[in-house]
A and B are shown apart, each in its own frame.
Chain A
Amino acid sequence: DVKVTQSSRYLVKRTGEKVFLECVQDMDHENMFWYRQDPGLGLRLIYFSYDVKMKEKGDIPEGYSVSREKKERFSLILESASTNQTSMYLCASSLSGLAQYEQYFGPGTRLTVT
């Protein structure tokens, strides 16, 4: 069974803290993605990666960075958390090629920055 796991379901951090969100997939997928989901705005792509050590900016990369040192793991880093980064963060993975549009999502991390 396909599985994407995220390190925390709920997280509360203070403004200015460095925050790490971890995502692991066990499906040997090439592609991995980080989104945030906010009411009325839908899912917005932050960063994605098509291979180990590769990363590309999505639509809203400002204030975020990512790391992909191993194929199964994709980390999202908030360098200095701010209150406008309070959101639901969703990680996803997919195969490459024609199957790339079926993305498998993790359960999400609800991050609150106070």
Chain B
Amino acid sequence: RKEVEQDPGPFNVPEGATVAFNCTYSNSASQSFFWYRQDCRKEPKLLMSVYSSGNEDGRFTAQLNRASQYISLLIRDSKLSDSATYLCVVNIDRQLTFGSGTQLTVLP
């Protein structure tokens, strides 16, 4: 079983749609959580951290459910520029473990 599991997609949504990605992790000792974004043929970049209380950054909302070992990312009013692969990332003992990513394409 993978330590971090994501639906690979692809998710194809129209501009302006709301889309949600889910991620589950298997190690209950996981300490902190993140979403990274990777554009096609580019390197990953940190999108946002995920806090227990949930947090928002503009159109992006991240949620964490420790009891269910579940992380989510919600994107509202999606833009063409949101097209990318979204990587769920978990920190265990100072090492980051990356999910294989969920591909999003926002269509005009």
Contacts and interface: CB of A to CB of B under 8 A. Distances in A.
A106 B44 CA distance: 9
B34 interface: yes
Interface string B28-71: 00001010000000111110010000000000000000000000
B11 interface: no
**Main secondary structure on A side of the interface with B:** mixed
B78 to A, nearest CB: 23
Interface stretch (A12-20, A36-44, A67-75, A77-85): A36-44
Given A58-B95, A101-B32, A41 B46 contact: no
Nearest to A50: B94
A95 interface: no
A99 to B, nearest CB: 10
Interface residues of A, number: 18
B95 A108 contact: no
Interface of B: 4, 8, 32, 34, 42-46, 49, 87, 91, 94-101
Interface of A: 35, 40-45, 48, 58, 90, 100-103, 105-108
7 contacts: A40-B8, A42-B87, A42-B98, A103-B44, A103-B46, A105-B43, A107-B43
